Amino acid sequence: MENPKYKELKNKIVVVTGGGGILCSTIANAFASQGATVCILDLNIETAQEVSEQITKAGGKALAVQANVLDRESLQKAKNEIAEKVGLCDILVNGAGGNHPLGTTTNPFLLEEDLHKTTEGFKTFFDLDVNGIQFVFNLNFIGTLLPTQIFSKDMIGRKDCSILNISSMNAFTPLTKIPAYSGAKAAVSNFTQWLAVHFSKVGVRVNALAPGFFLTDQNRSLLTNEDGGLTQRGMTIIGQTPMERFGEPEDLIGATLWLSSNQSKFVTGIVVPIDGGFSAFSGV
């Protein structure tokens, strides 16, 4: 923090939704290292407090705030608390998101015999639960739209304000088995472009990151075995990733800080893949 690269981020008020998670807590720490005041929003206040304490112990400035990104009243309460304690939001990172088993098929491809399987928990496309799909879509898309409505209004008329959404590389090409998550992230990417145009006359830039495969608490059991080895899906992913590894949380920092600083002041409406080349690789 003695010599931050992005000096213009110093004293900025950064709000990070889903800030208690593995990826977003890393993003929060990165902003704090540049001298920003970081507000960690999370439904789980305990995890938000852990991240906040981690930042303050390192000499940074942070505030933990409980908020539900699907509840306007909860978000408004969080905004009021932030405004009272540290000031108005300059940079919003919409990091809350995730998948749900009810919006996931068991197999990547439908076979005719699958229609006759009676194994408990086995799901084809025809078995997908609409509530599960709606949960995933709401968490990722509505959970991006609502915080943006609440926090971006105060950005209007102020300088160097921006929004960073978290999309996914499967917004470019959908992954097998997870139609709800793929569709929801595609909506986030589309919304990023739409909002960038909509806010272009009021000086608020809007961009997004599209992370590839990063090991998190949500996908670890799908990609790795208990002994640390890769599952079949994990091996397929590494085989299709030219850099031959999963992403590490720190891999998000460079693009995050650049897109959030005025060093990218003519950049808006882009979605940046951070995926080790996965989305560029044809497989041959």
Q: Give the chain's domains with CATH numbers.
A: 7-103+132-280 (3.40.50.720)
- Could you give the C-alpha distances from 143 to 71, 100, 245, 265, 272, in angstroms and in order? 9, 15, 29, 26, 20
DSSP classification of residue 192: H
DSSP classification of residue 175: P
Task: Summarize pLDDT for 271-284 with one digit per residue, the tens.
Answer: 999 999 999 998 88
pLDDT for 232: 82
**% of the chain exceeding 70 in pLDDT:** 97
Task: Summarize pLDDT for 69-99 with one digit per residue, the tens.
Answer: 999 999 999 999 999 999 999 999 999 999 9
pLDDT for 164: 98
pLDDT for 2: 55
Q: Which two tokens stand for residue 36?
A: 């920003």
Catalytic residues: 181
Pairing of strands 61-66, 91-94: unpaired
Give the H or E element holding residue 62.
strand 61-66
Low-confidence ranges of the chain (pLDDT < 70): 1-3, 218, 221
